């Protein structure tokens, strides 16, 4: 009997269909409206919560898939519906990755459910690392966390920017410098519980794409959190800092471990947009008549579609490989997580541009969804590590040289 298979199993197929039906029936019909409104689509999140799709239980079950594919499949289907709304639904899972990647089992049990709330009281999570002067260069972040031994509290000060759900989330996970001299090795992650004084939203950004997803600054002004909100606990942090001070290697860097885990899933999101644009332009090319024949009868158009499909499938194989490797606890020795996100993000941008070309003028106007998909796709070469940073990670891994 063969053990290798790329066939989805019954459970995965069932979840894929369930999420696809939600994307087709609820998300896609609402996509244009929420893109124009540029607001968090609360009614859609509510519907996702009502059926159990927006819930910590669903996320926990999806991550428990022994083959590692369920969350990737879910992500692809949601963004196939609409990437902005999908990000409004999936944004909380970045906070979950921050908590699960760095927290103790008790902290995970306490805080992950609070990133979602319940259908009666929906909550959101946010994961905040980026700052105005620390984007790709996470090591130089300025937000400080200072321990107050008298009260066993941490005091956080700084400004975070570009934060998905920033300032409107109930649970914020903040990456801050405890010992700035140690750069990234002196960072730690903190949970800021709902309603903590001193945390507020700064500017909310108007964006090129994924406009239904809220992106804003988060200002931290003498934010005091209990010692128990340091993810992983003080003992572990002290040990890690001591090793770093001695110049010994440390296994984890707070932000990086979160990004490594989430990159293939971000790649899966990009795939959903690419697939939507490919399917739409394939149908269009069969319908649209010019010179007395369907435009797909011209090789120039048909080959474009052949290349689009090939690129999407290639990107999906990289995404699934990285998800499978992560589920088997195989190390990304060649930057496989980065490869998957790099390829899928660039494929999404390229495929959506080809789709505009296939639709001609109709691809360029808002009456058709293709221009929105093109705007939405672009973020996938920027956030969770730009394409340049993904190439840097891959290049360093394959060469063993600290490429700059
Ligand atoms: C819509 C949106 C949502 C986001 N959500 C979140 C979130 O929830 N949480 C969060 O923490 N952050 C979030 N971000 C931030 C995002 O991760 C950063 O924008 C991204 O990491 C890039 O940082 P930067 O914008 O400062 O660009 P910079 O780092 O200034 O990069 C500018 C350019 O220089 C290139 N560059 C930089 N360094 C190098 C190098 N060493 N080699 C080659 N090229 C280089 C980059 O690739 C890029 O092309 C979000 C951003 C956006 C736009």
Q: Residue range 73-97: average pLDDT?
A: 97
Distance 131 CA to ligand 1 centre (A): 9
Please identify, by atom number, the ligand 1 atom nearest to the C-alpha of residue 129.
Answer: 11
DSSP 278-298: HHHHHHHHHH-EETTEEGGGS
130 lines ligand 1 (CB under 6 A): yes
Q: How far is the C-alpha of 156 from the C-alpha of 177, rounded, in Å?
A: 9
Q: Residue range 244-265: average pLDDT?
A: 72
Helix count and strand count (H, E) for the chain = 14, 11
Whether 150 shows a pLDDT value over 70: the answer reads yes
Overall pTM surpassing 0.85 (yes/no) = yes
The closest alpha carbon to 163, from 110, 87, 267, 68, belongs to 87
Please identify, by atom number, the ligand 1 atom nearest to the C-alpha of residue 385.
Answer: 21
The pair of structure tokens assigned to 71 is 């969350």
Whether 257 shows a pLDDT value over 60: the answer reads no
Which value, to the nearest 10 degrees, does the dihedral of the CA atoms of residues 8, 9, 10, 11 take?
-90
pLDDT tens digits for range 196-222? 999 999 999 999 999 999 999 999 999
Whether 250 shows a pLDDT value over 80: the answer reads no
Say how far residue 353 (Cα) sits from the centre of its chain.
22
Neighbours of 50 (CB within 10 A): 12
Helices (H), 288-335: 299-327
So which residues are the catalytic ones? 384
Look at residue 2 in the predicted model and tell me its pLDDT: 67
Which residue is closest in CA terms to ligand 1's atom 12?
A: 130
Which residue is closest in CA terms to ligand 1's atom 37?
A: 136
The pair of structure tokens assigned to 146 is 């200072």
Kindly indicate the confidence band of residue 259, based on its pLDDT and cuts at 50, 70 and 90.
Answer: low
Which residue is closest in CA terms to ligand 1's atom 41?
A: 404
Phi, psi at 44, each rounded to 5°: -75, -40
133 lines ligand 1 (CB under 6 A): no
pLDDT tens digits for range 319-341? 999 999 999 989 999 999 999 99
Say how far residue 226 (Cα) sits from the centre of its chain.
28
136 lines ligand 1 (CB under 6 A): yes
Distance 205 CA to ligand 1 centre (A): 15
Cβ-contact 182, 140 below 8 angstroms: no
Look at residue 205 in the predicted model and tell me its pLDDT: 98
Distance 383 CA to ligand 1 centre (A): 6
pLDDT tens digits for range 151-175? 999 999 999 999 999 999 999 999 9
Cα distances from 60 to residues 138, 156, 267, 272, in angstroms, run: 28, 30, 20, 22
What whole-number percentage of the chain has pLDDT above 90? 94
- On average, the pLDDT of the chain sits at 95
* Cα-only R_g, the chain: 22
Look at residue 247 in the predicted model and tell me its pLDDT: 85
The residues near 314 (Cβ < 8 Å, ≥ 6 apart) are 343, 347
- The DSSP H or E segment spanning 154 is strand 153-164
Distance 156 CA to ligand 1 centre (A): 23
Neighbours of 132 (CB within 10 A): 11
Distance 135 CA to ligand 1 centre (A): 4
Q: Residue range 248-257: average pLDDT?
A: 60
Ordered by where they begin, the domains of the chain are 10-122 (1.10.540.10), 125-245 (2.40.110.10), 254-399 (1.20.140.10)
């Amino acid at each position: 009997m063969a053990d290798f298979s790329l066939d989805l199993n019954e459970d995965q197929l069932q979840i894929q269909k369930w999420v696809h039906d939600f994307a087709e029936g609820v998300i896609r019909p609402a996509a244009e409206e929420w893109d124009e409104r540029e607001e968090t689509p609360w009614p859609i999140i509510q519907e996702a919560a009502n059926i159990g799709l927006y819930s910590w239980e669903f996320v926990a079950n999806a991550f428990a898939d022994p083959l590692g594919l369920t969350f990737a499949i879910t992500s692809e289907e949601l963004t196939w519906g609409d990437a902005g709304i999908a990000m409004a639904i999936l944004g909380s899972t970045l906070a979950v990755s921050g908590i699960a990647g760095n927290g103790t089992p008790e902290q995970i049990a306490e805080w992950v459910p609070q990133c979602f709330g319940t259908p009666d009281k929906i909550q959101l999570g946010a994961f905040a690392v980026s700052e105005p002067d620390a984007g790709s260069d996470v090591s130089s972040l300025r937000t400080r966390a200072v321990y107050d031994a008298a009260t066993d509290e941490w005091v956080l000060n700084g400004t975070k920017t570009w934060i998905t759900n920033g300032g409107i989330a109930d649970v914020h996970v903040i990456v801050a410098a405890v010992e700035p001299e140690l750069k990234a090795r002196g960072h730690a992650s903190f949970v800021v519980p709902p309603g903590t004084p001193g945390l507020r939203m700064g500017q909310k950004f108007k964006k090129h794409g994924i406009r239904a997803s809220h992106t804003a600054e988060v200002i931290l002004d003498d934010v005091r959190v209990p010692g128990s909100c340091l993810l992983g606990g003080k003992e572990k942090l002290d040990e890690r800092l001591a090793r770093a001070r001695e110049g010994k290697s440390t296994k984890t860097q707070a932000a990086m471990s979160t990004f490594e885990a989430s990159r293939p899933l971000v790649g899966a999101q990009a795939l959903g947009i690419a697939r939507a644009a490919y399917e739409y332009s394939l149908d269009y090319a069969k319908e649209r008549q010019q010179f007395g024949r369907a435009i797909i009868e011209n090789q120039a158009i048909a080959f474009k579609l052949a290349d689009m499909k090939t690129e999407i499938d290639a990107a999906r194989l990289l995404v699934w490989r990285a998800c499978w490797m992560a589920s088997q606890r195989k190390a990304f020795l060649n930057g496989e997580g980065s490869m998957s996100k790099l390829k899928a993000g660039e494929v999404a941008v390229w495929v959506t541009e080809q789709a505009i070309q296939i639709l001609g003028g109709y691809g360029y106007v808002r009456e058709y969804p293709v221009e929105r998909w093109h705007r939405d796709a672009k973020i996938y070469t920027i956030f969770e590590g730009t394409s340049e940073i993904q190439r840097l990670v891959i290049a360093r891994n394959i060469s063993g040289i600290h490429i700059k």
